[in-house]
């Protein structure tokens, strides 16, 4: 009941603020949609990279490439896709595997950063729209007959100023949390990208080191074998 009374009291002011106010609302809705989508995406792709790489290292050092590839395909997110791209070509040289890991990580950067700059656009445009709405409201008010000559009553002037300033206030109120969320999401995206690149490069080192150890193992066994007795 109280909400309906407040809406009825301020409804006239909201309508009087003009079309610029509704443009601000559109950008605010877009910002909320981007924030919700990115938070859900980051929550869905969040995996413990340390545990994942330790389990992967144990499988690769024992030569279980198929099991490691299956494990990577079961996990969601960009980190698992980069590791999968490396595991599909385990016989390549270290430099070639490194290039594959970096290329796969670059492809995942777009998915991680998607829509985040849209949030920055919303946070930048909304206060500008608020200032524009304030200027247009003041211009519209002073263009009325008799305003410049002092023919307007004080309540009329107060209402016009309040309407003009509310547009700027709305733009700032909605832009500030949008920019804060942009900084948070951009920081989190950078951490995810660093984790992706680290996981891909560590997977390359694990594969190459495991392959080198298997090549050295027969040589060590031959050196440690007892010489055959002479006939």
**What's residue 144's pLDDT?**
67
- The alpha carbon of residue 200 and the mean position of all alpha carbons in its chain are separated, in whole angstroms, by 20
**What's residue 230's pLDDT?**
44
Tokens of 70: 């299956």
pLDDT tens track for 106-121: 888 888 888 899 999 9
In this prediction, the residues of the chain whose per-residue pLDDT falls under 50 are 1-9, 219-231
**What's residue 155's pLDDT?**
67
pLDDT tens track for 161-192: 777 788 888 899 999 999 999 999 999 998 88
Place of tokens 């016989």: 91
| Cα radius of gyration (the chain) | 31
Tokens of 122: 């919303």
Roughly what angle, to the nearest 10 degrees, separates helices 154-224 and 116-142? 170
Tokens of 182: 């942009």
Dihedral of the CA atoms 201, 205, 207, 213 (nearest 10)? 180
**What's residue 34's pLDDT?**
94
Assess contact for 93 and 211: CB atoms under 8 A: no
């Amino acid at each position: 009941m109280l909400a309906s009374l407040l809406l009825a009291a301020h409804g006239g002011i909201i309508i009087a603020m003009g079309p610029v106010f509704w443009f601000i609302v559109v950008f605010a809705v877009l910002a909320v949609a981007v924030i919700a989508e990115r938070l859900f995406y980051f929550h869905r792709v969040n995996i413990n990279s340390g545990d994942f790489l330790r389990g992967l290292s144990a499988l690769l050092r024992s030569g279980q490439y198929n099991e490691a590839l299956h494990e990577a395909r079961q996990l969601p997110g960009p980190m698992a896709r980069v590791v999968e791209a490396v595991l599909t070509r385990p016989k390549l040289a270290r430099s070639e595997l490194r290039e594959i890991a970096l290329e796969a990580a670059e492809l995942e950067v777009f998915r991680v950063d998607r829509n985040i700059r849209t949030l920055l656009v919303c946070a930048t445009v909304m206060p500008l729209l608020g200032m524009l709405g304030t200027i247009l409201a003041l211009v519209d008010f002073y263009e009325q007959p008799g305003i410049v000559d002092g023919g307007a009553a004080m309540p009329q002037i107060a209402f016009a100023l309040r309407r003009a300033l509310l547009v700027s206030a709305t733009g700032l109120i909605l832009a500030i949390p949008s920019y804060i969320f942009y900084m948070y999401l951009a920081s989190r995206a950078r951490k995810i990208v660093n984790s992706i690149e680290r996981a891909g490069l560590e997977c390359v080192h694990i594969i190459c080191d495991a392959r080198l150890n298997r090549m050295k193992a027969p040589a060590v066994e031959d050196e440690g074998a007892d010489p055959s007795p002479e006939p």
